[in-house]
Chain A
Amino acid sequence: MSGYQYLDVKLKLRDPDSVTLTPVFLCGCILNSLASIFGEIGGQTALEIVKFSSSQKRSIFRVPEAFLERVRIAISLIGYYQEEPCHFQVLSTSRKPLDFEEPDAEFIAFN
């Protein structure tokens, strides 16, 4: 039984004010990219969002270890978020649960 990998992802937008950033839209953006690159068979994975901070535009995802490579490919190849040019930066990946650096910063946690 393989474990999970945690990804710390930061979204960088050209014009940050013109989009609505919610955890669901962010997750959907990555899932769409996975589906277009790896299709209906290869792109189905349990991508879970663990923590999300709208002010830092950062979020922590949890994926099964076998899918880490594909998820990273899909994340790297995203060029648009809500028709706004953007790119994603993967700050770190780890087998242990990740967290944001500032403990007092606002975030939404999912369980």
Chain B
Amino acid sequence: MVRIKNRYIAVQIVPFTPTQSLRLNDNSLAKILLQNVEKYHGVYGLGMIEQGFRVKYINDRTKIAIIRCLHRGQRFVSSILPLITLIGDVRAKFRTLYIGATIIQCNKFIVKHQKQFLDRAMGQITSAKERQDLFKRVMELDMDR
């Protein structure tokens, strides 16, 4: 038996105009990604990644998602991410943050990334309440799915 190797891609969705929520769930994001893979890599590319492809985690507020795909199809997914300009009906782009082999490593990276973002953002906020709100909003990570 050979172990099935997965790759987890952590991406950040950057909307063209700043919005509170993207109104996206994991299924619709997966559908959009698969459509784009078919557009750029054809039926062959779609067939290579379809098995094991899943959006494991998406956070509407922090706009961070984790995509799982097979190790051998990783190239097909990561190569189309910079080419996507329209997510659903919102103008947005993907920023690939990290590609890891386990979801735990991905999670660790996201926590680190969000902490760095907090460090930068905290300096500009004066009131303690706003700081607490920002902290809550940025560090919102529920990995129950």
Contact = CB atoms under 8 A, between A and B. Distances in A.
The judgment on whether A and B are partners is yes
Contacts of B39: 39-40
Interface string A28-41: 00000001111111
Nearest to B80: A41
Place the interface of chain B in its size category: 10 to 19
- Main secondary structure on chain A at its contact with chain B? helix
Nearest to B46: A39
A39 B43 CA distance: 7
Nearest to A43: B42
Interface string A49-70: 0000000000000000000000
B83 to A, nearest CB: 9
A41 B41 contact: yes
B41 A42 contact: yes
10 contacts: A37-B43, A38-B42, A38-B44, A39-B37, A39-B38, A39-B39, A39-B42, A40-B39, A41-B79, A42-B45
